Structures are given as structure tokens and as C-alpha cells.
Structure 1
Amino acid sequence: MSKLKLGLQMWSIHDVFVNQGFEKALQEMSKMGYEGLEFALGGSATLSDRCGYPVDPKELKKMMEAYGVEPLGSHIAFGEFMKNPEVVLQECLDLGLKYAAVGPAFEGDRTPHGDQIEKYKQITEGARVFKENGIQFQVHCAVYGYLHDYKGRPTYQGMIEEAGIDLIQPEFDTAWMICSGNDPIELLKKYRGHVDILHFKDYHPVPYDTEYILVRHNEVCDHHRGCAVGDNGVQDVASIVAAAEECGTKWVLTELWNEENSLENARISAENIKKYL
């Protein structure tokens, strides 16, 4: 039996969290077999801001324990962290999170070199603050993370190298690994032992391809009409799960798009991934 655990990223059923509340979302997650939850704050500083209703993180942690769902990590808004570091960090601590992730620091070489260097410094200092408080920092490798920095590195790689792998881990997303022209298995091997969380997101093949990453990204987004993980998408779930386990990954997470039928796609995704766990 696999040692990998199955989790869900909050955005996958964002509509349920916002419109029906955390208890309903946790009930549904638990029924589907999801063992952990990664929060997603977007541009908000706190879950209360994100959801539009009061959320007490300590009470939420108790509720999650009651449903057998582990509070795993959070996609924080780094801009909000820079403005209100105590507020953002404290919510992560109150929830008992092990991880905190941010997106790519900037949009590759479209950002002036001086700004790139400053962003790397800010991210490194932020990662150090979280590490000192027992939380592992991560870069969620969205497609912009594969654009190159002033040294010719993918931005996600630059973030890791400037801070050090002990301060920043990669949190890869299978959809954007594939969209960016990378082999998920090869990237897992490259960062063996440092990819604690792997996001599974999928998309149906698109009719138009190009060498330029952002055009591919836009084509994927423009043609997206809903796709559960493993539902005739672009990836071999079985081989990626096997590689993740072999490379020391701890959690595989479903991350869906802004789906109209979010619960059904979350259920199908769980079933398709659990076949290989």
C-alpha cells in the first residue's frame, strides 16, 4: 500500500467553501476520501477575507480534526504577508499548518533585473520567517514559474536557488509542468526528497500548440471546460504517482479549476488517483 496521502486544494471546491461553509465542504471531502486540505487565499490576507464570513482558525482546526481532515498548508498572498506579516503568519500557526506556499515571484524576464533581485531577497526573508516558526515554505509552480529570470533560470528554480532548498521547496502542478514542456517524472527526480506536496491538475488536449509557454497556457485556459484529474486529460496518472512515491513525496493533492460541477469533479479525481495509492 502506498505511503502517499491524498489531499485537496481549497480552490477545487471554492464555491462550496464560500457558499455553503467549511463544515459542508469538510463533510464532502471526508466522504470522498480526502485526508488533508490546503487552503488558498488568493489575494486575501486571511480566510475570513477570502470567504466573506468570519472564520476562527482555531475553531476550524478543531472542526477539521472531527472530520479527519488534516490542515496541511496554505497558498498565502505574499503581498499581504509583506504588509501584515504577523496576521498572515499567525493564521497559519493557529491552523497548525506544516506548509505555506506562494506563486512565482515575478513574470520571468518581463520583469526588470533589479526588481527580480529585490523579489528574490524578499521571498528569501519571508521563507526564513516561516521556517523559524516551523513552517516549510514552498513555491507553487504555476506556468509563470517556468519563464526565465535574468540568469536564464526558470523563476521557480531561481527562487529555490537564491534561498536554498531547505528554505523553499518546489510545489509542482502537473498541468503546468506538462504545459510548460517539462516531464513531471524528470522534475520529481531532479528534486528528489524535496517535493513534499504534488498537485494533480489536468486539462483536455487543446487544438493549437506553440513553442511559447504563455501562448500554450492561454490556449489551455481558453479551451478549458472542466476536467477532473485523469478524465481523458493530458497525463498518465499512474506513472506520475509511482514516481512521486519513489521520490519521497508525502502528499498528492487534487487541484481543480473554477469548475461549475466542482464536487463531482473532485470525486472523480479522488477515485482516479486512489487507484494508484
Structure 2
Amino acid sequence: MAKVGLQLYTVREELEQDFEGTLRKVVELGYKGVEFHTFFGRSAKDVKALLDELKLEVVGTHVPYTRLLDHLDEEIAYHKELGNKYLIVPYLTDEQRQWDELFSNLNRIGEKVKEQGLILAYHNHDFEMTEKINDRPVFDAIYDEVPADLLQVEMDTCWVYYGGYDPVEYIGRYRGRLPIIHLKDMARDEQQKAVTVELGQGEVQLQAITDAAIQAGVDWIVVEQDFSSNPPIESIETSFKWLQHYAAEGGNIHV
């Protein structure tokens, strides 16, 4: 049964102001796990103690690509102490999109991460769908060039959709290599650019995506809202209520 987590980037300002209080609120709302993007200078020991107290699982951590390149040993040590097994590449700047170099680096980083008993994963945006290598989306090229035992998929289903592809088809394509999905919804502004909204408030076919993810055996369905026009705590509560409704209608998720 898939569990529901939150990417804490969604509540980044609240977390920076009140780290402990924000995590307590996330637990109160019903989330079973959290995915980090930063620890605001806290030690792994202190963060783990708080998570243990709250009975909150670590889904994974978004680790900047430059940290994985230049400070990998330090990151591995921190996350082993924290009890987190997924180190996730969160985003590539324009300058970092040198694809042959990226493939080589991901293979090398993945080997070292695997040797230490951890797992490297990659989180997409829309550019991996719209940019092509030999007429194939970069998304697919990455996973062609780096084997599954060195790189797992953290699929942001909203960005797959916004990039012009069917998230349900992509979930099926990467079944068995897909421990985590990001579930988010979006509307469009006057320029047709994506605007992230609470689950159920936009145009993404969330039920079909969630059904497909569960059928594919994902461990975690992670809520993320890049930007929120409402107070972020209110937004994550609204999104969690959508998942509660989904579960009440027979969806096989743990809420």
C-alpha cells in the first residue's frame, strides 16, 4: 500500500521560521513521511531525533547536483546517520544540461551511492520531456544511459503532463523502477504557463495517475506544490483532503 508524503519545499518559508513546529503540523495533517530539500544547518542526529519522536519517515532528500558532484562523501555520511536511503537529483540549471557529461556523472555517483547502501534517484521537470536526444525525450535518455541499479525514477507527474506526455503511460513504462512519484496539480495563467494549485483544483487527471502509480507498486505518493497562492499549510491540508477522499472511494493508499 502506497504511503503519502510531503515534499517540504512546499512549506519552505514556514520550515525556515519554525522547523520543529512545521514538522509537527505536517504530522497532525496526516502525512506519513517527508522529503527534504534542506536541513537549515541542523545535524543529522538532531533531525533524526525529531523524526523519531514524531514517528515521521524520511522519504528522501533533494540534494543539489553540485553537492553530489563535489561533496558526495559528506552527503552520504549525513544521510546514513539520518536514516534516509534516497539521494535525489532535484533540478539541473541550463549550464548543467551537458547530457553526455551528466550521464557519466550519474553513473559514477550512482556507483558510489550504491556501494554505501543508498539509492540515487532523479526528479524531473518539464524540460526533460521537451528537450530531445536523437528524437527521444531527455527523460528517457537519462534512464537508458544509467542502469536501474544505479538510478531510480522519482517521477513528477505534473511536469510530465505539462511537458506534453501522458503520465499514466510513463508510470507504466517505468514500473519496477519507480519507488516515488510527485503528485501535483496545475492550472494555466494567461500565457498558458503552469501554475501549481492544490490537488483537485486544476486540470491534471489525478485519479488516473494515482491509480496507475498504485498499480505500478510505488512506495510513496509525495505531494508537492511549487508555489501556492494560499497559505502553504492550508494548501497541503487541502491536498491531503483530496487524498483522503481518494482513499475513502477505495484507493489503496495509507492515510
- Length-normalised TM-score, structure 2: 0.89
Compute the RMSD of aligned alpha carbons. 2.0
- Alignment partner, residue 134 of structure 2: 151
TM-aligned CA deviation for residue 103 of structure 1: 3.6
- Alignment partner, residue 180 of structure 2: 197
- Alignment partner, residue 243 of structure 1: 212
Structure 1 gaps, min length 5: 42-46, 210-218
Structure 2 counterpart of 1:29, one-letter code: V
Deviations 1:142-198 (Å, cap 9, x if unpaired)? 112213344333222222111112211221112211101111111111111211101
- Alignment partner, residue 250 of structure 2: none
Distance in 2 separating the partners of 1:134 and 1:16 = 32
Deviations 1:195-214 (Å, cap 9, x if unpaired)? 110101211244455xxxxx
Distance in 2 separating the partners of 1:55 and 1:138 = 23
- Length-normalised TM-score, structure 1: 0.82
- Alignment partner, residue 161 of structure 1: 144
Q: Do the aligned partners of 2:129 and 2:165 also contact (CA within 8 Å) in 1?
A: no
Percent identity over the alignment is 24
Match of 1:263 among 233, 240, 255: 233
Instruction: Identify the range of structure 1 (145-154 vs 65-74) with the bigger mean alpha-carbon deviation.
Output: 145-154
Q: State the aligned residue count.
A: 246
Distance in 2 separating the partners of 1:116 and 1:201 = 27
- Alignment partner, residue 243 of structure 2: 273
The reply on whether 1:83 has 2:70 as its aligned counterpart is yes
Structure 2 counterpart of 1:254, one-letter code: V
The reply on whether 1:181 has 2:174 as its aligned counterpart is no
Deviations 1:201-252 (Å, cap 9, x if unpaired)? 211244455xxxxxxxxx22xxx3x611112x11222221111111111110
Q: Do the aligned partners of 1:141 and 1:173 also contact (CA within 8 Å) in 2?
A: yes
Distance in 2 separating the partners of 1:69 and 1:240 = 25
TM-aligned CA deviation for residue 107 of structure 1: 5.1
| SS at 1:203 equivalent | strand
TM-aligned CA deviation for residue 81 of structure 1: 2.0
- Alignment partner, residue 170 of structure 1: 153
Distance in 2 separating the partners of 1:120 and 1:62 = 36
Distance in 2 separating the partners of 1:106 and 1:149 = 16
Match of 1:20 among 18, 22, 47: 18
Q: Do the aligned partners of 2:59 and 2:220 also contact (CA within 8 Å) in 1?
A: no
User: Residues 1-277 of structure 1: matches in 2 within 5 Å?
Assistant: 3-21=1-19, 23-41=20-38, 47=39, 51=40, 54-103=41-90, 115-208=98-191, 219-220=193-194, 224=195, 227-231=197-201, 233-259=202-228, 261-276=231-246, 277=253
Q: Do the aligned partners of 1:105 and 1:155 also contact (CA within 8 Å) in 2?
A: no
Distance in 1 separating the partners of 2:80 and 2:49 = 14
Alpha carbons of 1:204 and 1:147: their partners in 2 closer, same or farther (altered >3 Å)? closer
Distance in 2 separating the partners of 1:273 and 1:250 = 15
Distance in 1 separating the partners of 2:243 and 2:206 = 7
Q: Do the aligned partners of 2:37 and 2:61 also contact (CA within 8 Å) in 1?
A: yes
Distance in 1 separating the partners of 2:154 and 2:5 = 14
Structure 1 counterpart of 2:81, one-letter code: D
Q: Do the aligned partners of 1:106 and 1:116 also contact (CA within 8 Å) in 2?
A: no
Deviations 1:126-156 (Å, cap 9, x if unpaired)? 1111112222211101112213344333222
